[in-house]
Structure 1
Amino acid sequence: MCNRYRLTAQQAEIAATFGVALPFMPDVTFPVGDIFPTGKKTPAYGLVIIEEDSVRRVEPMEWGVPTQVPGKRDPDVRLTKYVTNVRNLSSPFWHSMLTAPARRCLVPVTSFSEYGQEAGGNGRKPLHWFDVPSRPLFAFAGIWRPTERGNAYGFLTTEPNGVVAPIHPKAMPVILHDEDHDRWLSAPWDDLKALAAPYPSQLMRIE
């Protein structure tokens, strides 16, 4: 599960890579440093790119789509959980977002992280960062929806490739190829399911 990533690109680079019209709105604040999931008491935001009427724009959203789950102590009590990673693509919870092009988004990224499996000499699991050397700025396949306190997003995950698996054998984010950006924002869902696949390991690097 990826719960930490970075976006360090400048506005002009994001605009050129993803076809966003400049200038950006003055109230758009870019995240600085690492981006973390949102929480009930501490909202946290990332940037996504959405398309409306064939025009793309950058919008800050909370990272984590809220859903109600049974409480551990009392199953009759419903608790709010913020879901950051979308793995079960057949779940009814995600269906309305996956099947509606207007609810899909591009999540711009410069690198993402996973913790190692074994603790180091300091007793802590090491944090490893992954990027794509040939693409300093790339995108996760994202989805979003309105919530009671604003728009929120998550991104798809899939089986890990040969670079990520030794560190995190459960999953990795779905990284879109540049030529698939347009399709992700406009094509029917049935034509996009094959995109939920591991990114080629030979194109990635671990720090």
Structure 2
Amino acid sequence: MCNRYQQAAIQEAKDALNAIIETPFNVGSDIIHPQSPGLVVKRVNGQRVLANMTWGFPLILAEARERAKAKGVQVKPKPVNNARTDKLATGFWSRWTDPAHRCLIPVHAYAEAAGQKGQMTEAWMTMPDDSLFAVAGIWRPSAEWGDCYSMIMTEAAGEAATVHSRMPVILAIADHTSWLEHEMPEAVKLCRGWEGALTVNRTETLWSSK
């Protein structure tokens, strides 16, 4: 499951995804981790809008709530940054799968941990002929982190399957509008493994949480 990615540059994302900026914002790091701010494109009044949101839906498990209460401290939500395609119809996700809450995530590269446990290194996936690609996402408002988003994951295909069993849903340019506008279950048909060209760059950088 994807736990870090390199986002596209803001001007590049605007141009490639035909978006505007309604409210100015500051862009953080290029490498996005769960609970970090990242770029997304959503639809507002028929217009594609580039926004900055927190990566991950905040989730507070009952056990964590009880532990925090016993210690007299404030409970910290866990960022749920990946949404599995086969779980989108379940209660946790289904409230946020309508077109108004779908988004495109402009990505330059995404990473997975490769190798044996304890010795895992970063493997980065990119498009060989494009500096940007769009990943399917959903977003929602939250009391904890403001607007936030989660990345749709599906069964891996092609070169990505040599690194991990799952991968982000990479959308072809022709499918961007369909993901943002079509109703379920038509939109979920787009949530399949990418079988086009994908370059895997296996590095010697050890995988760590940050």
Do the structures match in fold with TM over 0.5? Answer: yes
TM-superposition CA deviations, 1:83-110 (whole Å, max 9, x none): 0000122221111211x21100111000
Partner of 2:147: 151
Q: Distance in 1 between matches of 2:52 and 2:101?
A: 15
Question: Which residue of structure 2 aligns with residue 130 of structure 1?
Answer: 125
Over 3 Å counting, the alpha-carbon distance change for 1:192 and 1:59 in structure 2 is same
Question: 1:3 corresponds to which residue?
Answer: 3
Deviation at 1:53, TM superposition (A): 1.0
1:35 to 2:29 alignment: no
3-state SS, counterpart of residue 89 of structure 2: coil
Q: Which stretch of the first structure deviates more once superposed, 47-56 or 68-77?
A: 68-77
Of 37, 43, 52, which aligns to 1:51? Answer: 43
8 Å CA contact 1:161–1:198 kept in 2: the answer is yes
The code of the aligned residue for 2:88 comes to L
* Structure 1 residue 79: Cα displacement: 6.6
What is residue 64 of structure 1 aligned with on the other side?
56
Change (3 A) 1:28 1:74: closer
Deviation of 1:19 after TM superposition, in Å, equals 0.8
Give, as a single letter, the amino acid of the residue that structure 1 aligns with 2:4.
R
- Maintained 8 Å contact 1:69/1:79: no
Local SS of the residue matching 1:102: helix
Checking the alignment, whether the CA contact within 8 Å between 1:70 and 1:79 is kept in structure 2 is no
TM-score normalized by the length of structure 1: 0.85
Which secondary structure state, in structure 2, belongs to the residue aligned with residue 136 of structure 1?
coil
Question: Is contact 2:136-2:171 (8 Å) kept?
Answer: yes
How many residues are matched? 193
C-alpha spacing 1:126/1:65, structure 2 compared with 1 (3 Å) = same
Structure 1 residues 79, 27: CA separation in 2 closer, same or farther (over 3 Å shift)?
Answer: closer
Q: Is the 8 A contact 1:118 1:125 kept in 2?
A: yes
| Root mean square deviation, CA, Å | 2.3
Equivalent residue of 1:198, what SS? coil
Say whether 1:92 aligns with 2:91. Answer: yes
- Equivalents in 2 of 1:132, 1:181: separation in Å? 17
> Judging changes above 3 Å, is the alpha-carbon distance between structure 1 residues 103 and 26 closer, same or farther for their aligned structure 2 residues?
closer
Unmatched tracts of structure 1, length 5 or more = 39-43
Percent of matched pairs sharing the same residue: 33
DSSP 3-state at the match of 2:152: strand
| CA distance in structure 2 between the aligned counterparts of 1:68 and 1:25, rounded to whole angstroms | 31
Structure 2 CA distance for aligned equivalents of residues 20 and 10 of structure 1:
10
Contact map agreement 2:158 2:194 (CA 8 A) in 1:
no
Match of 1:161? 157
Cα separation, partners in 2 of 1:74 and 1:26, compared to 1, 3 Å: closer
1:73 CA displacement: 10
User: C-alpha offsets along residues 149-188 of structure 1, whole Å, 9 cap, x if unaligned?
Assistant: 310100110001131222212x110011101111111111
Structure 2 residues without counterparts, runs of 5 or longer: 70-74, 202-210
TM-score when normalising by structure 2: 0.83
Larger fraction in helix: 2
